[in-house]
């Protein structure tokens, strides 16, 4: 099962005290933490990586616009957002922009850890939704009138990662269809959430046709059960 240690956090701040408190709080759960000093660097990182939670220091220029951008983005739109605030007005503005929680300065390690605990169910539910199971499946893509065959490398309830010969463009909409090894086909429409120079791309599902959602759910349940069995076997060993 997914645990907090598997989560990825992002801190947007250039303040040492904020960094100390947030990194200490995240460290209590042995989770990963990336640090960027400004809003532009945060947008660049969020455009190529799925982040589970974002700490945004409202002292950073463009902090409120960044929170709004995260909510409108493709890959991390459902991320939990913790706003680091100093005044009641900051709190109101941050929550209105889309933040889930407001942490009042001065931040402490214990306070950050407590807020992560409070947000635990939100964080883990979204992580399960986006947990990518490794696969090796052929997937057909159609963008406009052009079709191409690609190789799917992982799959989740919310989307898939793949490698294609012709590069996909970030933000475009594509039709897709693929078949599981047990013979059932899944088709639908999705948005290109991220791309890489190596020909990789992430597709965020928008619509899945017919019985496809049910077939995907059955496959994901089987993978989760298999993962749990393997983990239990490792603990016994």
Task: Please report, rounded to a whole number, the percentage of residues in the chain having pLDDT higher than 70.
Answer: 92
Q: Are 177 and 186 in contact (CB under 8 A)?
A: yes
pLDDT of residue 9: 95
Cα separation values, 142 from 73, 116, 188, Å: 23, 41, 10
Number of Cβ within a 10 Å radius of residue 219: 19
pLDDT of residue 19: 97
User: In the predicted model, what is the mean pLDDT of residues 48-59?
Assistant: 91
Q: If 0-12 CB within 10 Å is exposed, 13-18 middle and 19+ buried, where does residue 233 land?
A: exposed
Token representation of residue 26: 């995240």
pLDDT of residue 13: 97
pLDDT of residue 2: 53
pLDDT of residue 75: 67
User: In the predicted model, what is the mean pLDDT of residues 44-61?
Assistant: 91
pLDDT at 193 over 60: yes
pLDDT digits (tens, 9 = 90+) for 101-135: 999 999 999 999 999 999 888 887 776 666 778 99
Q: Which band of pLDDT confidence, cut at 50, 70 and 90, is reported for residue 230?
A: low
pLDDT of residue 124: 76
pLDDT at 74 over 80: no
pLDDT of residue 212: 93
pLDDT digits (tens, 9 = 90+) for 194-222: 898 888 999 999 999 999 999 998 898 88
On the question of a cis peptide bond just before residue 236, with omega within 30 degrees of 0, the verdict is: no
Report which of residues 32 and 75 the model is more confident about. 32
pLDDT of residue 18: 97
Q: What is the mean pLDDT of the chain?
A: 89
pLDDT digits (tens, 9 = 90+) for 131-166: 778 999 999 999 999 999 999 999 988 899 999 999
Report how far residue 172's alpha carbon sits from residue 186's, in angstroms, rounded to the nearest whole number.
Answer: 20
pLDDT digits (tens, 9 = 90+) for 7-28: 899 999 999 999 999 999 999 9
Report how far residue 9's alpha carbon sits from residue 53's, in angstroms, rounded to the nearest whole number.
Answer: 5
């Amino acid at each position: 099962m997914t645990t907090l240690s598997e989560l990825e956090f992002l801190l947007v701040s250039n303040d040492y005290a904020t960094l100390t408190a947030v990194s200490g709080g995240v460290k209590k759960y042995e989770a990963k933490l990336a640090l960027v000093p400004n809003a532009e660097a945060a947008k660049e990182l969020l455009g190529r990586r799925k982040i589970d939670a974002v700490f945004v220091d409202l002292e950073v220029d463009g902090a409120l616009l960044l929170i709004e951008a995260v909510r409108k983005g493709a890959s991390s739109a459902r991320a939990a957002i913790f706003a680091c605030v100093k005044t009641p007005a900051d709190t109101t503005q941050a929550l209105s922009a889309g933040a889930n929680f407001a942490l009042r300065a001065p931040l402490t390690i214990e306070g950050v850890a407590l807020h992560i605990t409070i947000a635990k169910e939100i964080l883990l539910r979204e992580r399960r939704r986006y947990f990518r199971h490794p696969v090796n499946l052929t997937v057909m893509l159609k963008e406009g009138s052009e079709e191409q065959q690609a190789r799917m490398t992982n799959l989740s309830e919310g989307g898939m990662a793949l490698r294609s010969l012709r590069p996909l463009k970030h933000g475009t909409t594509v039709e897709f269809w693929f078949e599981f090894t047990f013979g059932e086909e899944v088709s639908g429409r999705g948005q290109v959430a991220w791309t890489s120079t190596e020909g990789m791309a992430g597709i965020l599902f928008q619509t899945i046709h017919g019985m496809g959602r049910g077939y995907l759910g059955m496959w994901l349940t089987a993978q989760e059960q298999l993962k749990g069995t393997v983990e239990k076997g490792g603990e016994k060993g």
